[in-house]
Amino acid sequence: LAKTTQPISMDSYEGQEVNITCSHNNIATNDYITWYQQFPSQGPRFIIQGYKTKVTNEVASLFIPADRKSSTLSLPRVSLSDTAVYYCLVGDETDYKLSFGAGTTVTVRA
């Protein structure tokens, strides 16, 4: 199970792009990278998942370099409602014991 490191917190303003980088130096060949978002007083929810290169959906983009030792979650044009904790998880289909680290607290200001 690859260990991940991400910043504790980030501040931004409405309309800006927010990029959160997660380091996972010992990522294994079969591991996928998944990001979750947690609003206050709610359970986390899935945002995006990728294996390599770039993945984009209606919420975010995920950039993964060729060596896959890091990944960057990109939130375009954030709004106040994007204020949340964002978690980076790395694992494959054999990882039963996934725990979430402290995540990155993103605060969007008007």
Partner 1 sequence: NAGVTQTPKFQVLKTGQSMTLQCAQDMNHEYMSWYRQDPGMGLRLIHYSVGAGITDQGEVPNGYNVSRSTTEDFPLRLLSAAPSQTSVYFCASSYGARGRNTIYFGEGSWLTVV
Q: What angle do CA 109, 64, 14 make, to 5 degrees?
A: 10
Residues 6 or more apart in contact with residue 42 via CB below 8 angstroms: none
CB of 105 to partner 1, least distance (A): 9
CB of 33 to partner 1, least distance (A): 10
45 interacts with partner 1 by CB under 8 A:
yes
Residues that bind partner 1 (rule: CB under 8 A) add up to a total of: 28
35 interacts with partner 1 by CB under 8 A:
no
Kindly identify the residues of this chain, within the stretch 47-66, that bind partner 1 according to CB under 8 A: 49
